[in-house]
Amino acid sequence: MFNHILCPTDLKKRALLALKKALQIAHQFDSKITLLNVHDELMNKKEREMLRVSFDKLKDKYRDIAVSSKAEMKATIVQLHAEDIEVEYLLREGKPEKAIIDVAEKLEVDLIVICTDGHPHHLRDVFTGTITEHVVNNAVCPVLVVPFK
């Protein structure tokens, strides 16, 4: 039923709840999990050109972010004793709500497991909605929302 699960993570405590639920489902259905970490502080080529920022200057910073994010995701899997599950680790740049939808479509995942804390973090969220709301409203597959208590 669920062969491939996408679990977006911002590497914060609340995202751990979603990962635990994704691992539970993966064990039940012998699923593969893709852990996705999105950084909106990373600039794409167009943004760098607009700001006239050289990629060479940012290359080391981006590499450090990628290495530390991937290491933290792997450490979490080990901490949860889930080494028996096939896990792919992805790091993307851009807006999380868009990247989650794009990756879900590209990988043709069967389920997205995401966490929310139940209230907006920023004034912007009040007007545009949260990342979780965007994913629920735009995903092409089922979305399991794990509440943060």
Domains of the chain: 4-147 (3.40.50.620)
Residue 125 has pLDDT above 50, yes or no: no
Q: What is the mean pLDDT of residues 96-125?
A: 83
Residue 36: burial class (beta carbons within 10 Å; 0-12, 13-18, 19+) = buried
Q: Is the overall model pTM greater than 0.85, yes or no?
A: no
Structure tokens at 146: 């794990």
For residue 45, give both structure tokens: 């080529």
Cβ neighbour number for residue 142 with a 10 Å cutoff: 13
Q: Who wins on pLDDT, 114 or 70?
A: 114
Distance CA 142, CA 148 (A): 19
Residue-level pLDDT at 114 = 96
The more confident residue out of 22 and 130 is 22
